[in-house]
């Protein structure tokens, strides 16, 4: 396994001075090390992976240096456009080292949303004509691998890819720790109150990562079935548009989108579309812990922005922010009674239960349960 600090120092010695990306669980130790040791002008956690490629391009234009972009392989889709139409040697020809965490590597067990992405990843990179090399826990000559890639980046003035397999980096203990704000509730407590306030006809579309896993367990614990929830296990940042598409057609239902701050920021343009096209049945709950909690807790800018004000400016009828349990109980009542599109931001602390499970229904079963539920109402109606 590779010691994180040694890896970072090796990149710095080779001239990399700027790091940007979106965190990944498989890269969480190296992401934690980068976040911990670098100054804010040397490291930016980007809104999405395409934005990270563009930030890296801007850094290169200003300095002539080769930057590093990190991402989970699910973020490759977000970055294909700027990789091919901005940084590609046939366009602006901008060198960068793109480090990709290989979720769903063939032969390594992973969740359903990662399996196909992991299987087609090499073909995608080859189709994009991106030079790439992989490292894993047993790759002792990793400095040579990086050297080789950086030579290609420099000589061809082009993006190159370092694919990182599961278990490559050692554990990293951060030197700067921000203790969780004990006055705040946990995300799971907040979701428990929200789910408890819904009626049988309400539908939930929840975001990628732990929020959906918690909603699944809350429903299981209350024996209330999973047919009211769409758990967006992949496609980070898109759950609000799924909810909007559903709400536009299911006008007799209240549709609750349960979003995370990282996911909201990833595709924040969605707010403007909801503000303009969302109906009275659209209700948006943003559970804001200021972090990418599901993949290691790296910070987002979620606590430095006024999400309710942004929603109103985008056309939402109403919006509010709460942080206490008592306030939340009032606020979920308010949300239920308010004409949408409406948004409730709930500030929570970072962290989740250690024994949090994963949905035991497959994505297809989840879809089928929900569609049966929605169509039943249409038949009755």
Ligand X SMILES: Cc1ncc(C[n+]2csc(CCOP(=O)(O)OP(=O)(O)O)c2C)c(N)n1
Residues that bind ligand X (CB under 6 A): 22-24, 72, 74-75, 78, 187, 207-211, 236, 260-263, 289, 291-295, 300
CB of 102 to ligand X, least distance (A): 13
How many CB atoms neighbour CB 183 within 10 A? 9
Tokens for 206, please give them. Answer: 């929840």
Q: Please check whether residue 71 is in contact with residue 98, taking contact to mean a CB–CB distance below 8 angstroms.
A: yes
Spatial CA neighbour of 225 closest among 249, 198, 252:
198
The neighbouring-strand residues paired with 205 are 230, 257
| Cα 214 from Cα 166, distance rounded (Å) | 24
Q: Which is nearer to ligand X, 248 or 268 (CB)?
A: 268
42's enclosing H/E stretch is: none
Q: Which is nearer to ligand X, 36 or 214 (CB)?
A: 214
CB of 118 to ligand X, least distance (A): 13
Q: What is the number of residues in the chain?
A: 381
| Cα 248 from Cα 280, distance rounded (Å) | 10
Q: Which is nearer to ligand X, 3 or 77 (CB)?
A: 77
**Nearest residue relative to ligand X (C-beta):** 260
Residue with tokens 């890896």: 7
The neighbouring-strand residues paired with 343 are 284, 319
Q: Which is nearer to ligand X, 95 or 359 (CB)?
A: 359
Q: Which is nearer to ligand X, 4 or 300 (CB)?
A: 300
| Cα 30 from Cα 27, distance rounded (Å) | 6
Residue with tokens 């109150």: 193
Q: Which is nearer to ligand X, 288 or 319 (CB)?
A: 288
Taking each helix axis from N to C end, the angle separating 187-197 and 210-221, rounded to the nearest 10 degrees, works out to 50
CB of 314 to ligand X, least distance (A): 18
CB of 56 to ligand X, least distance (A): 16
Q: Which is nearer to ligand X, 109 or 223 (CB)?
A: 109
Degrees, nearest 5: CA angle 170-4-294: 70
CB of 137 to ligand X, least distance (A): 21
Q: Which is nearer to ligand X, 73 or 281 (CB)?
A: 73
Rounded to 10 degrees, the C-alpha dihedral 51/57/63/66 comes to: 100
Beta strands 298-299; 291-292: pairing state: antiparallel
CB of 147 to ligand X, least distance (A): 28
CB of 251 to ligand X, least distance (A): 28
Residue 355 three-state SS:
coil
CB of 208 to ligand X, least distance (A): 5
Q: Which is nearer to ligand X, 70 or 142 (CB)?
A: 70
How many CB atoms neighbour CB 99 within 10 A? 24
| Cα 166 from Cα 252, distance rounded (Å) | 45
CB of 13 to ligand X, least distance (A): 28
């Amino acid at each position: 396994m590779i010691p994180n600090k040694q890896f970072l120092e090796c990149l710095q010695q080779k001239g990399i001075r700027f790091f940007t990306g979106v965190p990944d669980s498989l890269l969480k130790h190296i992401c934690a090390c980068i976040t911990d040791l670098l100054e804010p002008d040397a490291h930016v956690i980007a809104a999405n992976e395409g934005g990270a490629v563009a930030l890296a391009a801007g850094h290169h234009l200003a300095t002539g240096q080769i930057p590093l972009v990190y991402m989970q392989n699910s973020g490759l889709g977000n970055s294909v456009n700027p990789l091919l139409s901005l940084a590609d040697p046939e366009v602006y020809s901008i060198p960068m080292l793109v480090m990709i965490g290989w979720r769903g590597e063939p032969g390594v067990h992973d969740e359903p949303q990662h399996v196909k992405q992991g299987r087609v990843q090499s073909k995608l990179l080859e189709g994009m004509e991106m030079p790439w090399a992989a490292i894993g826990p047993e790759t002792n000559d990793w400095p040579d691998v990086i050297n080789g890639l950086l030579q290609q980046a420099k000589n061809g003035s082009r993006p190159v890819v370092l694919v990182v397999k599961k278990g490559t980096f050692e554990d990293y203990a951060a030197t700067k720790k921000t203790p969780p704000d004990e006055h705040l509730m946990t995300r799971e407590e907040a979701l428990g109150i929200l789910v408890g306030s819904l009626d049988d006809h309400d539908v939930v579309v929840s975001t990628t990562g732990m929020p959906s896993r918690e909603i699944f367990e809350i429903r299981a614990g209350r024996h209330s079935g999973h047919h009211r929830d769409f758990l967006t296990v992949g496609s980070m940042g898109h759950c609000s548009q799924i909810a909007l598409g559903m709400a536009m057609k299911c006008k007799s239902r209240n549709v609750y989108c349960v979003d995370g701050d990282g996911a909201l920021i990833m595709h924040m343009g969605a707010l403007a579309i909801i503000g303009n096209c969302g109906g009275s049945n659209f209700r948006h709950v943003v559970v804001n812990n200021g972090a990418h909690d599901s993949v290691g807790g790296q910070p987002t800018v979620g606590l430095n922005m006024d999400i309710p004000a942004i929603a109103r400016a985008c056309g939402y009828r109403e919006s509010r922010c709460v942080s206490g349990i008592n306030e939340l109980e009032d606020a979920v009542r308010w949300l239920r009674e308010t004409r949408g599109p409406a948004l409730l931001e709930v500030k929570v602390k970072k962290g989740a239960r250690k024994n949090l499970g994963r949905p035991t229904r497959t994505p297809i079963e989840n879809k089928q349960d929900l569609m049966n539920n929605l169509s039943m109402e249409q038949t009755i109606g």
